[in-house]
Amino acid sequence: MKIMRRKKGLSKLPEIRAGIIAAFVVFLIGISCGVLIFQRNFISKAAAQSAESSAKGNKIALSPYLNSLTNDEIYRYTDENNSLETWDEKEDENTKDEAFGLDKSLSYPGLYQVEGNYVYYVSPYDFKIYKISGNGKRIKLSEDKADYNGILLHGGWIYFINSSKGEKLYRVRTDGKDMIKVSEDKMRTSFEGFFKWKGSLYYYDEYMGIHKIDETGKEVELGAGERNTVLNFSYSSKIYGNILYKWGPDGIAKVDLEYGKEIKLIDDPVYSFQLYRDRIYYINYKNHNLYSITSDGKDKVRLIDDELICEGPDYDTGNMVISDGLLYYIKYNESGTGELYSLHIESGKRTVLAKDVKDFKLYGDKLYYIDGIEFGKLYNMKKDGTDKGELTSNYFTYMLEGQNGFLFYGVKSQTDDEPYYGKIFMMDIKNNIERELK
């Protein structure tokens, strides 16, 4: 799981599940580590503004609204009855192992979202909403500006906080028609201000009141206990079946969403989290090592004592992905680069796949990685480290994610007429065509 973490004093320690994708997160790269995001870390608006101010001198900040890279695609929520089950290994793009019923219906807004043949996005240039097809045709959908939370697709509509009209919740159809104000409430403009879960959209007003909207756009009452349930949701949480796991500086806890019972599993400060089979894997924020415990918090084992977090004056970065019985991570050195490893979970065998890696993403049967922030190159290779190929070169900031045959990544702005937060590119992987989300 990949994470960008803001340093003390500028934001909370908990994972920014705001981040690629999913929601924007400010990236500052005046550091040797570079800037990596995996899951969205929560950042307050004040913290985002603070980072924005400090970044003006070096023109490398990306944004407080980039979608987070997540490894959620290695699981699939397969049962409408909310139970745990496995699926045919042929159906999955990243792993042939068992699924654990990850509830992927819980989703947050982001700078861009992919649906069908279109990528819907907020332009870093003017913050207006557009869509672009695979052939590069771009269509503007709104003259109003979305705030840094980005957009969320729901029931054929695009929902967003309208910064042009008093930070109210609006929606517009995916063809750009019928711009409608959803609520008179002023929105809570944090990265967790609105989200989608099980076919409904939820949002917080400025007074922390929770509201629920169905697929038709109508506000409906929350069910008994529903408010307490959704209050547990954050960028640093995942739902498996009826169990929610949440993590951060206070450790890992799990919550039974049916009965509301919460159990503390471990007190270690947790930088990143992954549930795989019957165990939890996490990077300890204190010593930067990799640990594993059972899903009920027992049998703690330190698996790797390498440096899995690169500390910087503004951001700490790290990366961990599990797929097909292998755990991928970056072992950082003093220069801020690192070696990309695979760890065979059962045997403990470690293999170096690439050197001088700044960031990577696993998508399908390929690993994609960049080897530098300044004049870096984007490569792909097989998961065993063979068949390396160069795709493009640029002023990279971080990898974003892969969706529907497209790879997304961030690029630093180099001139004053380019977006302050940086640029976002998408690559058609099959045809090796790169396009900017303008």
Domain ranges of the chain: 2-108+233-436, 109-190+193-232
| Per-residue model confidence (pLDDT) at position 83 | 30
Q: Between 184 and 400, where is the model more confident? A: 184
| Per-residue model confidence (pLDDT) at position 66 | 35
| Per-residue model confidence (pLDDT) at position 434 | 93
**318 neighbors 36 (Cβ within 8 angstroms):** yes
Q: How confident is the model at residue 85 (pLDDT cuts 50, 70, 90)?
A: very low
Homologous superfamily in CATH for domain 109-190+193-232:
TolB, C-terminal domain (2.120.10.30)
Q: How confident is the model at residue 280 (pLDDT cuts 50, 70, 90)?
A: very high
Q: How confident is the model at residue 104 (pLDDT cuts 50, 70, 90)?
A: confident
**Is 96 a residue whose pLDDT tops 90?**
no
Q: What is the pLDDT of residues 340-394, one digit of tens each?
A: 999 999 999 999 999 999 889 999 999 999 887 777 899 999 999 999 999 999 8
Considering only CA atoms, which of 136, 207, 231, 120 is closest in space to residue 171? 120
Q: Please tell me the CATH code under which domain 2-108+233-436 is placed.
A: 2.40.128.630
Give dist(CA 169, CA 194) in Å, integer: 9
Q: Between 59 and 387, where is the model more confident? A: 387
**395 neighbors 373 (Cβ within 8 angstroms):** yes
**253 neighbors 238 (Cβ within 8 angstroms):** no
**222 neighbors 210 (Cβ within 8 angstroms):** yes
Sheet hosting strand 290-294, strand order edge to edge: 270-276, 279-284, 290-294, 301-304
Q: How confident is the model at residue 15 (pLDDT cuts 50, 70, 90)?
A: very low
**129 neighbors 172 (Cβ within 8 angstroms):** yes
The tokens 């407080």 sit on which residue?
A: 64
| Per-residue model confidence (pLDDT) at position 100 | 55
Give dist(CA 370, CA 178) in Å, integer: 41
Biggest alpha carbon–alpha carbon distance for the chain: 57
Q: Looking at the chain, how many residues does it have?
A: 438
Return the structure tokens found at 178.
């019928």
Q: What is the pLDDT of residues 301-315, one digit of tens each?
A: 999 999 998 887 656
| Per-residue model confidence (pLDDT) at position 396 | 84
Return the structure tokens found at 311.
């500390």
**Is 65 a residue whose pLDDT tops 90?**
no
**Is 36 a residue whose pLDDT tops 60?**
no
Q: How confident is the model at residue 165 (pLDDT cuts 50, 70, 90)?
A: very high
**Is 243 a residue whose pLDDT tops 60?**
yes
Give dist(CA 139, CA 58) in Å, integer: 32
**Is 204 a residue whose pLDDT tops 80?**
yes
| Per-residue model confidence (pLDDT) at position 315 | 62
**Is 59 a residue whose pLDDT tops 50?**
no
Q: Between 245 and 81, where is the model more confident? A: 245
| Per-residue model confidence (pLDDT) at position 397 | 80
What is the pLDDT of the chain when averaged over all its residues? 78
Give the 3-state DSSP-derived string for the chain, with helices as H, strands as E and coil as C.
CEEEEECCCCCCCCCEECECEEEECCCCCCCCCCCCCCEEECCCHHHHHHHHHHHCCCCCCCCCEEECCCCHHHCCCCCCCCCCCCCCHHHCCCCCCCCCCECCCCECCECEEEECCEEEEECCCCCEEEEEECCCCEEEEEEEEEEEEEEEEECCEEEEEECCCCCEEEEEECCCCCCEEEEEEEECCCCCCEEEECCEEEEEECCCCEEEECCCCCEECCCCCHHHHHCCCCCCEEEECCEEEEEECCEEEEEECCCCCEEEEECCCEEEEEEECCEEEEEECCCCCEEEEECCCCCCEEEECCCCEECCCCEEEEEEEEECCEEEEEEECCCCCEEEEEEECCCCCEEEEEEEECEEEEECCEEEEECCCCCEEEEEEECCCCCCEEEEEECEEEEEEEECCEEEEEECCCCCCCCCCCEEEEEECCCCEEEECC
| Per-residue model confidence (pLDDT) at position 313 | 67
Cα 249 to Cα 190, 236, 254, 269: the distances in Å are 20, 11, 15, 4
**Is 21 a residue whose pLDDT tops 60?**
no
| Per-residue model confidence (pLDDT) at position 403 | 86
**Is 284 a residue whose pLDDT tops 60?**
yes
Distance between first and last Cα of the chain: 28
Q: What values do phi and psi take at 413, rounded to 5?
A: -75, 145
**Is 140 a residue whose pLDDT tops 80?**
yes
The pTM score is 0.77
Give dist(CA 331, CA 244) in Å, integer: 30
Return the structure tokens found at 375.
């004049």
Q: Between 124 and 82, where is the model more confident? A: 124
**181 neighbors 165 (Cβ within 8 angstroms):** yes
Q: Between 170 and 10, where is the model more confident? A: 170
Considering only CA atoms, which of 158, 172, 164, 162 is closest in space to residue 113? 158
| Per-residue model confidence (pLDDT) at position 53 | 36
Q: Between 40 and 249, where is the model more confident? A: 249
